[in-house]
Structure 1
Amino acid sequence: MNISVVIPLLNEQDSLKELHHWIANVMASNGFSYEILFIDDGSTDQSWTTICNLKQEDPNVKGIRFLKNFGKSQALHAGFAQAKGDVIITMDADLQDNPEEIPELYNMITKQNFDLVSGWKKKRFDNKLTKNLPSKLFNWAARKTSGVTLNDFNCGLKAYNKNVVKNIDVNGEMHRYIPVLAKNAGFTNIGEKVVQHQARKYGETKFGIERFINGFLDLITIWFISRFGKRPMHLFGALGVIMFIVGFGFAAYLGIDKLFFNPYGRLITQRPQFYIALTTMILGSQFFIAGFLGEIILRQKNNKTRYLIKESLNLEE
């Protein structure tokens, strides 16, 4: 199979039929074999009914329905696990991503040997104050922190070599940082393509300004995981040892000063330096223990399921 199109969605019943026909026409005109995986992330409208009806029209349509809203990252994780294509395309369901971009994205993966190609919505139709300016700030911070030089981390339209999606773990709210996850996994040939952005035709956006706050918090998380995720002792252990040595040095100084230079002066416990030394040694010990526990936890494989599927449609068991 040439292409798997993975589409996470939440309450997009009005756009699904038009989106499906648009994708199907692009695939047919280019002679691609394909599947369309709709991942219903707990919609409360008629999105799942629409997907079931589309499956009756097109056997290439497949679907997964979550028991409740688990988030876009979990939806992509489920879609990646089921995707059978050599190239996986992700796109949003709101018709703001243009399926006409799919052939060129496919060629960049198969002919130019990119591991991942991310769309860049250079010209946007969003509100400049609430989305464009925060997005530019977020993308700048992401580039500086991760070392991945993309202009638009948030673009949902991306193409992947199948080896990428089968070897990265998209969890939490890390869908914004899939290129960073891919780079950390060793897939360094990451490209970018300017894509056409379209104004939303139906419904309202599901993302508010809070997504950028969450995005920056996730950026800190992925920076830490990238640097120290496989060796937490290198950070916490080092901090712990340094703080303990500093605290012990203060304590030794106070002891020597009391014994040899000022035996009849104030008690050590009456000096503020004593409490600084004590606190620093305690914190240093705690940091060291945190690093040690992190190493133990890291060695325990976590197989906990992060979402519950209510129904699936046209998937191979």
Structure 2
Amino acid sequence: MPQLSVVIPLYNEIESIPALIEALRAALAGADAEVIIVDDGSRDGSARALDDAAQSWGAALKILHLQRNFGQTAAMQAGIDAARGEVIVTLDADLQNDPQDILPLAQRLLREHLDVVAGWRKDRKDGLLLRKIPSRIANRLIRRLTGVYLHDYGCTLKAYRASVLKGVRLYGEMHRFIPAWLSTLTYTDRILEVPVRHHPRRAGKSKYGISRTFRVLVDLFFVKYFLGYSQRPMHFFGTIGLASLAVGSAMLLYLFVDKFVDGASISGRPMLIAGVLFFLAGLQFLNTGILGEMLSRVYYEAQHKTTYVVRSSVHIDVSEI
């Protein structure tokens, strides 16, 4: 069983593969490590190049070929599922992150008993307008909403304790939020960020554009809800429902007094329509909260999931004392 597993999702990076393999072999020389490269349905000949690399490297290199292009998150999850090491390090295939940083991150995680050591591209070698500025805006927003204060959520180079990382499942495009997901299973003081090297892209072209920022914002709303209310949806929807009911009831009560005490006409008044809408919306939010609670319980019970994670245990056999 290797102590370290390096997981690399890859899509259409045929020009980077020779240099990637060479850099990995140099960085991991002598280490008890395995490398898992997940070919995410590449169409440029990357699959054949990876198979050739596996033949020359041997058992330390494992290649997973996905049926089609499922996206970086799915490819990363496939690699995590296949990983056998105590520590899992994720890395991009474009060599903008330096493989020489893999072992220092893994060693620091073990030495300081951490659960996540995240890379921070402090001196980032990317374009200012299309990459740096949108990334800074997204990172600041993610920090504020998740409570996990990292400078660089978008850096794929991160080291994880496998027992913690395998406790979450990644869907959609949630790979950039892994530290936030893990904050539901561990303390944030076990999540550390350290500066890592960053290089300009050597070959190929980036798979990301300005549209990624908008996808991050959409995903972030789900992450915020999941982190705070996945196990208690009634607290989220119920609070909104009660507030809406209170506003609607206050409006309708005012109109009731106005009608039967002062004799004013209330038909056709905007407040009547608004009051009814707020009241009905409140009932609907409460109903959604109840359904959410039921679905949450069905989810946890059907999949035998728990709301806790055991870090370690100590058992002393009294008969041997």
Same fold (TM over 0.5): yes
C-alpha contact (below 8 Å) 2:117/2:159 kept by paired residues: yes
Asked if structure 1 preserves the Cα contact closer than 8 Å seen for 2:33 and 2:85, the reply is yes
* Aligned counterparts, 1:147-166, within 5 A: 147-166=147-166
Which residue in 2 is equivalent to 1:109? 109
Higher relative contact order (CA 8 A, sep 6+): 1
Give the C-alpha shift of residue 120 in structure 1. 0.8
Counterpart-to-counterpart distance in 2, 1:136 and 1:248: 44
Matched, 1:34 2:65: no
Q: Does 1:299 align with 2:297?
A: yes
1:75 to partner: Cα distance: 1.1
CA contact (8 A) 1:164 1:187 kept: no
Identical-residue share of aligned pairs (%): 36
Q: Normalising by structure 2, report the TM-score.
A: 0.88
- Report which stretch shifted further, 159-168 or 295-304: 295-304
1:23 alignment partner in structure 2: 24
Per-residue displacement from partner, 1:22-66 (whole Å, max 9, x unpaired)? 1122222xx212111111112111111112112211221112222
Distance 2:103 2:256 in 1: 75
**Alpha-carbon distance between aligned partners in 2 of 1:227 and 1:124, rounded to the nearest angstrom:** 32
Within a 5 Å distance, the mapping from 1:159-174 to structure 2 comes to 159-174=159-174
| 1:241 aligned residue | 242
Give the C-alpha shift of residue 251 in structure 1: 2.0
Q: Secondary structure at the match of 1:8?
A: strand
Which residue in 2 is equivalent to 1:57? 56
CA distance in 2, matches of 1:260, 1:279: 24
- The aligned residue for residue 233 of structure 2 is 232
* Map of 1:125 onto structure 2: 125
User: 1:194-242, CA deviations, whole angstroms, 9 ceiling, x for partnerless residues?
Assistant: 1111111111000001111111222222112111122111111121122
Superposed CA offset, 1:274-312 (max 9, x none): 2121111111111111212222222233999xxxxxxxx
Kindly provide the amino acid, as one letter, of the partner of residue 54 in structure 2: K
In the other structure, the counterpart of 2:92 is 92
Give 1:315's aligned residue. none
Runs of 4+ aligned residues of structure 1 deviating over 3 Å after TM superposition are none
Q: Distance in 1 between matches of 2:27 and 2:275?
A: 69
Q: Report 1:198-213 matches (<5 A).
A: 198-213=199-214
- For residues 179 and 48 of structure 1, what CA distance do their matches in structure 2 show? 30
Give the structure 2 partner of residue 269 of structure 1. Answer: 267
User: Match of 2:43?
Assistant: 44
Contact 2:120 2:152 in 1 (8 A): yes
2-structure distance, mates of 1:258, 1:215 = 50
Q: State the aligned residue count.
A: 299
Q: Which residue of 2 aligns with 1:279?
A: 277
Q: CA deviation at 1:187?
A: 4.4
Question: 2:164 is paired with a residue of what secondary structure?
Answer: helix
Q: What residue is the counterpart of 1:307 in the other structure?
A: none
Kept after mapping to 1: 8 A contact 2:115/2:186: no
Q: Which residue of 2 aligns with 1:70?
A: 70
Q: Is the 8 A contact 1:9 1:40 kept in 2?
A: yes
Structure 2 segments unaligned to the other structure (5+ residues): 304-321
Contact 2:174–2:219 (8 Å) recurs in 1: yes
Bigger mean CA deviation after superposition, 113-122 or 143-152: 143-152
Corresponding residue of 2:312: none
Aligned-partner SS, 2:64: strand
Report the AA paired with residue 218 of structure 2.
L
1:83-131 CA-partner distances (Å, limit 9, x unpaired): 0011111100011111111221121111111211111111122111111
